[in-house]
Structure 1
């Protein structure tokens, strides 16, 4: 029997792959757009929310990218960045998320004249405010920030320096995002080598829109600690008629070294990486015990939450509390928090709560 969203919402969860500019409340987009005179497809919150998900589902890359042009447009001031970050923390906490790593690209928020530093500080302050508010209301949450560089641009060294400068103030790691095809991660090798020298952690969007070469470069050239998506690692796994899976050298490396996969099922469905949740490689990768984590990617564009993603998997694969606990502990183990802090959340929050749920 599958678990419902409402049931799963009560369980503590950990989230590693969530984009700040992909998770705004529709009502907030409308209010912020009105303040700056930005025209939207609709000024009704329900209709606008539907427009975002339908555009993301359309199969048109242009229409999909247009959705972000609207959210980014209303995130160009300290006040708007603070508000969006605060509401993100509150929304995740309300969904039962106890730890999240939320990523955003500072370079996308400079149109109003803000410096990269002031952008980072506004977001960090917003998260601090939201986490404090949620915790005071009985839904404790902690958020670590990932700073993203756009892979088609040339500011990755600046963003990497910011990661180092703010790592004791809430920034826990680095990421690159954007179109994979034609923009390999090796274009930013200087940034990754700098981060390695500075003992900093990073994930790389790889193995979503592009296949195994993207994953190979992210790991073996750039030294990624996690794979953003990484779903195409399944291309290096063959399952025979006898049902026995044979792993190629890259897949074996990923599993053997416990490289975390930041899987985002609904998002993969929208981008055409898979045809249905039941066909999603998460099932095979879980059976083979890769380090699978479940994530939201863009909550607004996918009309989703982490509880909804887990409910979809529960329905498609029959997952119960034990599997959801496994996903959650995988995510917490794979976070960029310090080891003792990860362990405290696992031992003091996650394990006791799931023990009660499993016992019934």
Structure 2
């Protein structure tokens, strides 16, 4: 979803969109442009709630403000429906690259579930190839427009289905053709990562990195399974890890907390948390702490030294961009440029890239923030 809004950092007026940023948690089927949905739906003779792009965008945002992950996920029925052809997948991928580039993203990982895009005859491999073609077209167009951006695919298996190993093998087959990691997604409660232990065992044997959706619609047991069964190097959201942190007492200047074994492990091992502030609010992931962004445990986790990263999750459903998410966090917690740089360094260090490439990203971040 395009976002031409100017986001200025309060105090010094820095243009947040111009800052170099890393996007680790961005769903391909959650970032479509409303106008693209309308046009692709027309080609496939599908009904849409509105043929006005602005009204359709408003519809997605309203439907997503449900407070329930299950209800939130229903909006994807429409986006996935228009992503069932090679042309549709390639177009959506290309536009996602361009939208991220225009927002100042210098490295992004686009995650999506190929098994959900086979209704019109594509094979799993053909679907992955179509997305990669679109990404490469987007990279070429971004370069021609003066942007410097890199993109990797995160191939995702649906946690409620039984195709985990098949999708893991698909991801590994394409590791030299754009796929950088593996994920499981979908309804979290009742579907622990342990259901896909065979897939995760296979991925570990291939030294292939995984991130796992956990700690969004389910609690500590889901996170524990993501780490033990999924060998997760990052946690998709992971916001409910804060349930394992007890605030013992507070005074005017400080909070005194104790960490459980699980949260201690995540912090000490520097497992990255792919936090998505607006989405976490929409899905009720932070309901235990409140219903406003200032209630999000993001700041608690940050102050305690967890490797927090900032993400959009689904740009269309949250009517957001990475710049907007940073602006919202600044408004809620008073963050400044130095905090933003920490978040981007955290994300660069956690990217599913060789260490040389991660070090290069960090240099680009440092240079970009020095120039801000």
* TM-score, length basis structure 2: 0.93
Aligned with residue 278 of structure 1, among 283, 291, 294: 294
What SS class does the counterpart of residue 112 from structure 1 fall into? coil
**Residue 159 of structure 2 corresponds to residue 151 of structure 1:** yes
Aligned with residue 334 of structure 1, among 344, 350, 371: 350
Give the length in aligned residue pairs: 356
- Mapped contact 2:66–2:283 kept (Cα < 8 A): no
Instruction: Give 1:2 deviation, angstroms.
Output: 2.9
- Mapped contact 1:95–1:306 kept (Cα < 8 A): yes
**Residue 18 of structure 2 corresponds to residue 10 of structure 1:** yes
- Mapped contact 1:267–1:296 kept (Cα < 8 A): yes
Superposed CA RMSD:
1.4
- Mapped contact 2:278–2:318 kept (Cα < 8 A): yes
Deviation sequence 1:304-330 (CA, Å, 0-9, x none): 000000000011111111000000010
Q: In the alignment, what sits opposite 2:331?
A: 315
| Higher share of residues assigned helix | 1
Q: In the alignment, what sits opposite 1:354?
A: 369
Instruction: Give 1:3 deviation, angstroms.
Output: 6.7
Deviation sequence 1:233-283 (CA, Å, 0-9, x none): 101111122321111111100000000000000001001122111111111
Q: In the alignment, what sits opposite 1:244?
A: 256
Q: In the alignment, what sits opposite 2:145?
A: 137
Q: In the alignment, what sits opposite 1:303?
A: 319
State how 1:251-266 maps to structure 2 within 5 Å. Answer: 251-266=263-278
Query: 1:63–1:246: structure 2 CA closer, same or farther, 3 Å change rule?
Result: closer
Instruction: Give 1:63 deviation, angstroms.
Output: 4.8
Instruction: Give 1:127 deviation, angstroms.
Output: 0.5
- Mapped contact 2:84–2:119 kept (Cα < 8 A): yes
Q: Extract structure 1 runs of 4+ deviating beyond 6 A.
A: 3-6
Looking at structure 2, the residues matched to 15 and 110 of structure 1 have their Cα atoms a distance apart, in angstroms, of: 27
Instruction: Give 1:32 deviation, angstroms.
Output: 0.3
Unaligned 5+ residue runs, structure 2? 1-8
Looking at structure 2, the residues matched to 5 and 48 of structure 1 have their Cα atoms a distance apart, in angstroms, of: 32
**Residue 304 of structure 2 corresponds to residue 292 of structure 1:** no
Q: In the alignment, what sits opposite 2:196?
A: 188
Q: In the alignment, what sits opposite 1:123?
A: 131
Deviation sequence 1:110-129 (CA, Å, 0-9, x none): 00010000000000010011
* TM-score, length basis structure 1: 0.96
Looking at structure 2, the residues matched to 270 and 129 of structure 1 have their Cα atoms a distance apart, in angstroms, of: 33
What SS class does the counterpart of residue 99 from structure 1 fall into? strand
